[in-house]
Every structure is written in C-alpha cells, then in structure tokens.
Amino acid sequence: MPQPWSAPVATAPVRSTLAVPGSKSITNRALVLAALSGGASTLTGALQGRDADLMIDALRALGVPIDVDGTTITVGAHGGFRGPATIDCGLAGTVMRFVPPAAVLADGEIRFDGDPRARERPMGTVLDALRAVGATVDGDALPFTLAGTGAIAGGTVTIDASASSQFVSGLLLSGARYDKGLTVHHDGKPVPSMPHIEMTIDMLRDAGVTVDDSEPNTWRVEPGPIAARDWVIEPDLSNATPFLAAAAVTGGEVTITGWPARTTQPGDEIRGILEAMGAEVTLADGALTVRGPATLSGVDIDLRDVGELTPTVAALAALAEGPSRLRGIAHLRGHETDRLAALAAEITGLGGDAEETDDGLVIRPVPLHGGPWRAYADHRMATAGAIIGLVVDGVSVDDIGTTAKTMPDFPERWTRMLTGAN
Ligand SMILES: O=C(O)C1=C[C@@H](OP(=O)(O)O)[C@@H](O)[C@H](O)C1
Ligand SMILES: C=C(OP(=O)(O)O)C(=O)O
C-alpha cells in the first residue's frame, strides 16, 4: 500500500519558473508512427513516464528495436511487426487504442491486457472497426487477442466515437498501412477531444500521409508509406496546468517555459479558462505566465474538447468564490477512473459542494477542510488533490505515485515549485 502524501501548503503566493516534460499524446503518436514507418526515427524531448514505457514495450514486443537514452528515443528499422506477442496496456488509453490497429499488421497472434480498470475502459468500438476491415479479433474489451496475418484490407468503417476520440486517432494512425487505406466515419453524439484528432492528422501529414478531413465527422487516409523522421516533442501542456493553477489559487506567479506558439494540444486552452476565472495570462517569447487574482471566479464552461483538463479546472472551481458548471464531459466516466464521480466524491469529502450532472459537474463555493483525497489510480485526480492542498491545510493524497503515468517526479517538481527553484 502506498503511503499517503501530505500535500504541501503554500505559505506564500507561489512564484516559480519551470519547464514540464514531453507530451504523452505526442510521444505515443510519434512512437507508433515511427514503428509503422519501418525506418529509423528519433524522438527528442520525449515523455519519460509509465505511458511512454508501456508504448515502448508494446512496440518492442512486436519486434521494433527501440533505444531509450533519457528523453531521446531511437526507433530502429525493422522488417514488419512480428507475433506472437503479449502486450500490457497498463491504464494507457493511447496504448490500448493505438496499438491494436497497428498490431493487426503483425504475422501472428497478439494478446492484449492491462490494469484491472483498463478492462472497464471502452474498447469494443475499435475492435469492431478492426473486424469490419478484415481483422480477426477475439474479445470486446481487454483482455483480447488479434490474429494477425501480415496484411489488412482496410476500406470504410462507421463507428460511434462519442466515448473517446482515441478510437478515431488509433484507426487513422495505422490506416495508411492497410491495402485500401481507411475511411473512418463517425455516427453518434459529438466526438470529444477534437484537438487530439487534429494532433493525429497533423502528425500523419508530417509523416507524409495524405489525410482528407474536409467533411465533418469523416476522415480518410490514403494507402501509402509512413515516413521515418525525427520528431521534436512539445512539453505536455495538460501536465503544466496544475503548476499554473498553483499561481491562480495562491495569488502567485508561475511561468512555464517552452510553451509552443502553435499547438494542437488541448492544454493550450487553459489560457482562456484561467483568464475567465480572473487570472492574468501572458504568452510571450515562448513562455506562459499566469498571475493569480485575489479571488478566483467560478466558470460555466463546455470542456468537451479539453476533457483532459477537467480535474485541474474542478480543483480551481472548488476554490473559487462563485459557482461553476463544467459541461460536455460525460465521456470522462470512461477515463482512468469515472472522473465525474471521483471529483464529486473527493470535493464533497473535504466539505465542498460538488454534484454530478448528466454531462459534467456543478461545483458551488463552500470553505473546504483537510482530509484524505483519493486518487483512484488516476494521475490527474492526484494532481487535483495537490492543487487543493496548496490552500487547504491537511489534505493527504492516498497515492501520489500514480502521477508516474505521465510525470514520475511530480512530488519533487511540486516541492521545487513551492521553494521557487527551477
Ligand atoms: O489521443 C490522445 O492522446 C488523448 C485523447 C483524449 O482521450 P478521450 O477522447 O478519450 O478523452 C485525452 O483525454 C487523453 O488524455 C489523450
Ligand atoms: C484520459 C487520459 O489518459 P488516457 O491516455 O489513458 O486516455 C488522461 O491522461 O487524462
């Protein structure tokens, strides 16, 4: 059992300038594209964390040579994916949704499993889509087995991607390697996390793949090679948000260096969200600075496109002066944990007033008190507890180690931020 982590209280407004590690989403897309290219690629500035490790191990299991030297990853040339293999997806959505569409190109049986909670995360849509384009798949959720034959026909699939944008991204990443390419058509409630689909399309184009996204809810990748190349990974802007929130809740000033001028990362939207809550936000010379207000305002906001930011925004809302309504995020019930239930339970557990709605949360201002904060094996639940703990004495997070999914040294970085060190 992990020891509870006493969240440090900020005894003064937080003032710090810091950098954050590489983006999970960009690192894991670059790894998949590098592996699919069959040639030699490098990644610089890559994430070092559990989700990247799981992706590296998955691709190695398929026969891809990969060397890791800190944040530089070298993916070697290979002659095609090999089976049989067993792949551990851990709790990584990017591994469970991005690797199977690639693994169907292997010549042998590939078995997938993951953490207990991963077995509950939505997966059937991807597996049905793979069946529809010619793959043999045994199962509808983790664990499942693919019987690869070395080639996939491809064609057109209609899916309901309202539970996760990763269904679309995973299929598009591999589609160019299918004989007829791949057209993915979405039919259902709106697709969440659209910027993550734009990220997929941008990176496919960077690798020389022809993608047609001119029709809403339809994406077409033409069959053809995926180019090996060198990828420079942007810092993880979603992982920057707890640090920026620290400035917002303490009336301090935090600067994140290396903030990209143009990005598809949804984390960039934190700028507008913090402004709406009363913070002063400046992006200049590749650095983002947030100055916290004397009191935070509540917000009424649709987070469908940036659902990943919900735990940070909910923590801010729990400390705001006015009520907040977070909308458009029913799909968060299928994330690392049911994030709507978890956030409502943990905020309420500290004396707050948070309630689930059909598609989000309502959070009303009530003074909070200390107490346990459960992370539910969810990195962003853990960091949400850390944010609240900055200004509420006596918050202890039961499993801060779960931040290893995307930031293994989160506790040390948090302490360094509090001491003003870089
Ligand atoms: O493609 C990606 O890298 C991601 C897409 C999003 O998933 P959902 O669309 O399931 O929310 C996001 O929440 C997740 O953290 C990363
Ligand atoms: C939803 C998330 O992760 P995953 O990639 O496992 O879906 C997340 O990091 O917020």
Residues 208 and 144 in one domain: yes
Residues 17 and 111 occupy one common structural domain: no
Q: Which residues surround ligand 2 with Cβ inside 6 Å?
A: 91-94, 308, 335-336, 380
Q: Is the pLDDT of residue 101 over 90?
A: yes
pLDDT digits (tens, 9 = 90+) for 236-290: 999 999 999 999 999 999 999 999 999 999 999 999 999 999 999 999 999 999 9
Residues 6+ apart with CB under 8 A from 151: 105, 179
336 among known catalytic residues: no
Same structural domain, 39 and 182: yes
Which one is catalytic: 234, 253, 269, 308?
Answer: 308
Question: Which ligand 2 atom is nearest residue 94's CA?
Answer: 5
* pLDDT above 70: residue 118: yes
pLDDT value of residue 420: 81
Q: How far, in Å, from the CA of 253 to the mean position of ligand 1? A: 29
Ligand 1 atom having least distance to the Cα of 169 = 1
Q: Does one domain contain both 273 and 145?
A: no
Compute the distance from residue 11 Cα to the ligand 2 centre, in Å: 32
Residue 405 labeled ligand binder = yes
Band of residue 2 on the pLDDT scale cut at 50, 70, 90: confident
Q: Is the pLDDT of residue 108 over 70?
A: yes
Spacing of C-alpha 38 from chain mean position = 26
Q: Are 192 and 80 in a shared domain?
A: yes
Closest atom of ligand 2 relative to the 92 alpha carbon: 6
What is the residue range of 409's domain?
Answer: 5-21+235-418
Residue 227 lies in a domain: no
Instruction: Tell me, yes or no, whether 15 and 32 share the same domain.
Output: no
282 touches 256 (CB < 8 A): no
Would strands 182-186 and 144-147 be described as parallel, antiparallel, or unpaired?
unpaired
Has 220 been labeled as part of a binding site? no
Model confidence pLDDT, tens digit, residues 316-347: 999 999 999 999 999 999 999 999 999 999 99
Helices (H) then strands (E): counts for the chain: 12, 23
Contact 160, 125 (CB under 8 A): yes
- Are 82 and 9 part of one and the same domain? no
Which among 277, 273, 278 has a CA at the least distance from the CA of 307? 273
What residue type is assigned to position 40 of the chain? Answer: A
Looking at residue 158, what is its pLDDT? 98
Residue 49's pLDDT is 98
Residue 225 falls inside a structural domain: no
17 and 56 assigned to the same domain: no
Q: Domain with 310 in it: what CATH number?
A: 3.65.10.10
What is the number of the ligand closest to the CA of 166? 1
Q: What is the mean pLDDT of residues 370-379?
A: 98
User: How confident is the model over 167-178, as a mean pLDDT?
Assistant: 98
Cα–Cα distance measured from residue 390 to residue 177, given in angstroms and rounded to the nearest whole number? 49
* Residues 105 and 177 both lie in one domain: yes
**93 labelled ligand-binding:** yes
Whether 380 has a binding-site annotation, put simply, is yes
* Domains contained in the chain, number: 2
Express each pLDDT in 182-213 by its tens digit. 999 999 999 999 999 999 999 999 999 999 99
pLDDT for 422 equals 60
In a domain, 124, yes or no: yes
Q: What is the CA(304)–ligand 1 centre distance, in A? A: 11
State which of 187, 220, 253 marks the end of a domain: 220
Q: Which atom of ligand 1 is nearest to the CA of 163?
A: 10
Q: What are the C-alpha distances in Å from 170 to residues 134, 200, 259?
A: 16, 9, 26
Asked if residue 404 is part of any domain, the answer here is: yes
Measured between alpha carbons, how far is 137 from 152 in angstroms, rounded to an integer?
13
Buried b (16+ CB within 10 A) or exposed e, 373-385: bbbbbbbbbbbbb
Do residue 53 and residue 11 come from a single domain?
A: no
3-state SS class at 346:
helix
In-domain check, residue 229: no
Which residue, among 353, 352, 309, has the nearest Cα to 328 in the 3D structure?
309
Ligand 2 centroid to residue 379 C-alpha, Å: 9
Q: Specify whether 380 is located in the same domain as 316.
A: yes
- For residue 98, is it within any domain? yes
| Radius of gyration of the chain from its Cα atoms, rounded to whole angstroms | 21
- Beta partners for 86? 111
pTM of this structure: 0.98
Task: Check whether residue 48 and residue 196 sit in a common domain.
Answer: yes
Mutate-to-test residue for ligand 2 from 336, 338, 403, 405, highest number of ligand atoms within 8 A of CB: 336
How far apart are alpha carbons 330 and 413 in whole angstroms? 31
Q: Is residue 230 part of a domain?
A: no
**Residue 335 in marked binding region:** yes
| Nearest ligand, measured from the Cα of 265 | 1
Confirm whether 226 is domain-assigned: no
